[in-house]
Chains A and B, each alone.
Chain A
Amino acid sequence: MTSLLLISRQSPYGGSYAHEALDIALSAAAFDIAVSLLFMDDGVYQLLKDQHPNHGSKNLGAVLGALPLYDINELWVESDSLVARHLQTADLAHAAQSIPGGEIAELVSRFDRVLTI
Protein backbone atom coordinates (compact mmCIF):
# COMPACT_ATOMS: atom_id res chain seq x y z
CA MET A 1 0.00 0.00 0.00
CA THR A 2 1.42 3.36 -1.03
CA SER A 3 1.69 5.92 1.73
CA LEU A 4 1.15 9.65 1.31
CA LEU A 5 1.96 12.52 3.63
CA LEU A 6 -0.17 15.55 2.80
CA ILE A 7 1.22 18.77 4.28
CA SER A 8 -1.51 21.38 4.67
CA ARG A 9 -0.18 24.93 5.21
CA GLN A 10 -3.06 27.27 4.44
CA SER A 11 -5.71 28.79 6.72
CA PRO A 12 -9.21 27.22 6.60
CA TYR A 13 -11.20 30.11 5.08
CA GLY A 14 -8.62 32.41 3.47
CA GLY A 15 -8.96 30.61 0.14
CA SER A 16 -9.84 27.20 -1.26
CA TYR A 17 -6.47 25.51 -0.67
CA ALA A 18 -7.28 23.99 2.73
CA HIS A 19 -10.49 22.54 1.39
CA GLU A 20 -8.85 21.17 -1.72
CA ALA A 21 -6.12 19.55 0.36
CA LEU A 22 -8.77 17.66 2.30
CA ASP A 23 -10.51 16.64 -0.94
CA ILE A 24 -7.21 15.20 -2.14
CA ALA A 25 -6.77 13.35 1.16
CA LEU A 26 -10.24 11.80 0.91
CA SER A 27 -9.81 10.91 -2.76
CA ALA A 28 -6.43 9.30 -2.14
CA ALA A 29 -7.84 7.30 0.76
CA ALA A 30 -10.65 6.06 -1.49
CA PHE A 31 -7.97 4.69 -3.83
CA ASP A 32 -6.35 2.66 -1.05
CA ILE A 33 -3.51 5.04 -0.35
CA ALA A 34 -2.49 5.28 3.31
CA VAL A 35 -2.87 9.00 3.96
CA SER A 36 -1.44 10.98 6.86
CA LEU A 37 -1.90 14.72 7.29
CA LEU A 38 0.57 17.24 8.67
CA PHE A 39 -0.65 20.73 9.54
CA MET A 40 1.84 23.57 9.71
CA ASP A 41 1.99 27.38 9.38
CA ASP A 42 -1.54 28.86 9.08
CA GLY A 43 -2.77 25.33 8.35
CA VAL A 44 -2.85 24.68 12.11
CA TYR A 45 -5.86 27.03 12.30
CA GLN A 46 -7.85 24.33 10.48
CA LEU A 47 -7.73 22.23 13.64
CA LEU A 48 -9.31 24.78 16.01
CA LYS A 49 -12.51 23.99 17.89
CA ASP A 50 -15.80 25.87 17.47
CA GLN A 51 -15.58 26.93 13.83
CA HIS A 52 -18.86 28.44 12.61
CA PRO A 53 -18.31 29.45 8.99
CA ASN A 54 -20.77 31.76 7.27
CA HIS A 55 -23.43 30.50 4.95
CA GLY A 56 -21.85 29.10 1.82
CA SER A 57 -18.58 27.86 3.31
CA LYS A 58 -18.20 24.29 4.41
CA ASN A 59 -17.16 23.75 8.03
CA LEU A 60 -13.63 22.50 7.64
CA GLY A 61 -13.44 21.34 11.25
CA ALA A 62 -16.42 19.08 10.59
CA VAL A 63 -14.76 17.59 7.50
CA LEU A 64 -11.68 16.82 9.58
CA GLY A 65 -13.92 14.98 12.03
CA ALA A 66 -15.00 12.67 9.21
CA LEU A 67 -11.44 11.58 8.32
CA PRO A 68 -11.56 8.38 10.46
CA LEU A 69 -14.47 7.21 8.26
CA TYR A 70 -11.96 7.18 5.41
CA ASP A 71 -9.33 5.40 7.51
CA ILE A 72 -7.28 8.56 7.83
CA ASN A 73 -6.26 8.37 11.45
CA GLU A 74 -2.78 9.84 11.56
CA LEU A 75 -2.77 13.61 12.02
CA TRP A 76 0.34 15.60 12.82
CA VAL A 77 0.70 19.24 13.84
CA GLU A 78 3.95 21.16 13.82
CA SER A 79 4.49 22.42 17.37
CA ASP A 80 6.54 25.47 16.31
CA SER A 81 3.58 26.75 14.27
CA LEU A 82 1.32 26.38 17.32
CA VAL A 83 3.75 28.26 19.57
CA ALA A 84 4.13 31.11 17.06
CA ARG A 85 0.33 31.52 17.08
CA HIS A 86 -0.05 31.32 20.87
CA LEU A 87 -2.00 28.07 20.50
CA GLN A 88 -1.81 24.87 22.50
CA THR A 89 -2.87 21.34 21.67
CA ALA A 90 -5.82 21.88 24.06
CA ASP A 91 -7.18 24.44 21.55
CA LEU A 92 -7.45 21.78 18.85
CA ALA A 93 -10.64 19.87 18.12
CA HIS A 94 -8.82 16.87 16.68
CA ALA A 95 -6.21 14.63 18.24
CA ALA A 96 -3.03 15.41 16.33
CA GLN A 97 0.44 14.32 17.29
CA SER A 98 2.74 17.23 17.93
CA ILE A 99 6.04 17.30 16.04
CA PRO A 100 8.78 19.96 16.07
CA GLY A 101 9.89 21.42 12.73
CA GLY A 102 13.29 19.80 13.08
CA GLU A 103 11.77 16.30 12.94
CA ILE A 104 9.62 16.82 9.85
CA ALA A 105 12.37 15.74 7.44
CA GLU A 106 12.51 12.39 9.22
CA LEU A 107 8.70 12.13 9.13
CA VAL A 108 8.66 12.84 5.39
CA SER A 109 11.28 10.15 4.78
CA ARG A 110 8.90 7.52 6.16
CA PHE A 111 6.39 8.09 3.33
CA ASP A 112 6.39 6.96 -0.31
CA ARG A 113 4.94 10.28 -1.46
CA VAL A 114 4.64 13.78 -0.07
CA LEU A 115 2.40 16.60 -1.26
CA THR A 116 2.51 20.15 0.16
CA ILE A 117 -0.43 22.51 -0.27
Chain B
Amino acid sequence: MSDATVHLIQKSPFDGQALESCLRVCAPNDLIVLMYDAVYAATMPRQWPATAVYALADDVSARGISDKLQRGIDTIDYTGLVELCAAHRHSQSWF
Protein backbone atom coordinates (compact mmCIF):
# COMPACT_ATOMS: atom_id res chain seq x y z
CA MET B 1 0.00 0.00 0.00
CA SER B 2 1.33 3.40 -1.02
CA ASP B 3 1.62 6.38 1.32
CA ALA B 4 0.87 8.76 -1.55
CA THR B 5 -2.56 10.39 -1.66
CA VAL B 6 -5.12 10.08 -4.45
CA HIS B 7 -6.75 13.47 -5.02
CA LEU B 8 -10.27 13.32 -6.49
CA ILE B 9 -11.06 16.68 -8.06
CA GLN B 10 -14.76 17.09 -8.84
CA LYS B 11 -15.51 20.70 -9.85
CA SER B 12 -14.97 22.57 -13.12
CA PRO B 13 -11.70 24.55 -13.14
CA PHE B 14 -13.86 27.63 -13.79
CA ASP B 15 -16.18 26.99 -10.86
CA GLY B 16 -14.61 27.69 -7.48
CA GLN B 17 -11.21 26.84 -6.04
CA ALA B 18 -11.29 23.02 -5.87
CA LEU B 19 -8.57 22.53 -8.48
CA GLU B 20 -6.27 25.32 -7.32
CA SER B 21 -6.61 24.36 -3.66
CA CYS B 22 -5.76 20.76 -4.44
CA LEU B 23 -2.72 21.72 -6.48
CA ARG B 24 -1.50 23.86 -3.59
CA VAL B 25 -1.28 20.88 -1.23
CA CYS B 26 -0.57 18.08 -3.72
CA ALA B 27 2.78 16.30 -3.12
CA PRO B 28 4.97 15.36 -6.10
CA ASN B 29 4.35 11.63 -5.62
CA ASP B 30 0.56 12.03 -5.24
CA LEU B 31 -1.96 11.12 -7.94
CA ILE B 32 -4.81 13.20 -9.31
CA VAL B 33 -8.10 11.92 -10.68
CA LEU B 34 -10.34 14.40 -12.51
CA MET B 35 -14.02 13.46 -12.30
CA TYR B 36 -17.45 15.04 -12.92
CA ASP B 37 -16.98 18.60 -14.27
CA ALA B 38 -13.29 18.56 -13.26
CA VAL B 39 -12.59 16.55 -16.44
CA TYR B 40 -12.78 19.87 -18.32
CA ALA B 41 -9.40 20.67 -16.69
CA ALA B 42 -7.92 17.81 -18.75
CA THR B 43 -8.48 19.85 -21.92
CA MET B 44 -6.37 22.79 -20.73
CA PRO B 45 -2.58 22.96 -20.90
CA ARG B 46 -0.98 23.26 -17.46
CA GLN B 47 1.78 21.89 -15.24
CA TRP B 48 0.56 19.20 -12.83
CA PRO B 49 2.51 18.83 -9.57
CA ALA B 50 1.66 15.11 -9.33
CA THR B 51 3.15 11.85 -10.46
CA ALA B 52 0.12 10.95 -12.60
CA VAL B 53 -3.12 12.59 -13.70
CA TYR B 54 -6.18 10.60 -14.76
CA ALA B 55 -9.59 11.62 -16.08
CA LEU B 56 -12.65 9.43 -15.44
CA ALA B 57 -13.57 7.86 -18.79
CA ASP B 58 -17.38 8.00 -18.40
CA ASP B 59 -17.30 11.70 -17.55
CA VAL B 60 -14.95 12.49 -20.45
CA SER B 61 -17.18 10.64 -22.90
CA ALA B 62 -20.37 12.23 -21.56
CA ARG B 63 -18.98 15.72 -22.13
CA GLY B 64 -17.67 15.17 -25.66
CA ILE B 65 -14.04 15.96 -24.86
CA SER B 66 -12.39 12.59 -25.64
CA ASP B 67 -10.36 14.12 -28.48
CA LYS B 68 -9.32 17.18 -26.46
CA LEU B 69 -7.40 15.58 -23.59
CA GLN B 70 -3.95 17.05 -23.07
CA ARG B 71 -0.95 14.76 -23.52
CA GLY B 72 0.07 12.98 -20.34
CA ILE B 73 -3.48 12.60 -19.04
CA ASP B 74 -4.85 9.05 -19.23
CA THR B 75 -8.45 8.00 -18.82
CA ILE B 76 -9.43 5.62 -16.05
CA ASP B 77 -12.66 3.64 -15.59
CA TYR B 78 -14.55 3.12 -12.34
CA THR B 79 -12.86 -0.22 -11.71
CA GLY B 80 -9.47 1.41 -12.13
CA LEU B 81 -10.51 4.21 -9.78
CA VAL B 82 -11.49 1.75 -7.07
CA GLU B 83 -8.21 -0.14 -7.49
CA LEU B 84 -6.28 3.13 -7.30
CA CYS B 85 -8.02 4.19 -4.09
CA ALA B 86 -7.59 0.73 -2.58
CA ALA B 87 -3.86 0.78 -3.31
CA HIS B 88 -3.31 4.09 -1.49
CA ARG B 89 -3.72 4.86 2.19
CA HIS B 90 -5.53 8.15 1.63
CA SER B 91 -7.87 9.67 -0.89
CA GLN B 92 -9.00 13.27 -0.69
CA SER B 93 -12.06 14.72 -2.46
CA TRP B 94 -12.06 18.31 -3.71
CA PHE B 95 -15.40 19.90 -4.59
Tell me how many residues of A have a C-beta within 8 Å of chain B: 21
Q: Are A51 and B63 in contact (CB under 8 A)?
A: yes
Contact pick for B12, options A14, A52, A61, CB 8 Å: A14
Interface SS of A by simple majority: loop
Contact pick for B63, options A41, A48, A86, CB 8 Å: A48
In the complex, what's the smallest C-beta–C-beta distance from A38 to chain B, in angstroms? 17
Flag whether A11 is at the interface (Cβ < 8 A).
yes
Interface SS of B by simple majority: helix
Residues of B with Cβ closer than 8 Å to A? Answer: 11-12, 14-15, 36-37, 40, 43-45, 58-59, 61-68
Q: Are B44 and A14 in contact (CB under 8 A)?
A: no
Contact pick for B37, options A42, A52, A84, CB 8 Å: A42
Q: Are B44 and A13 in contact (CB under 8 A)?
A: no
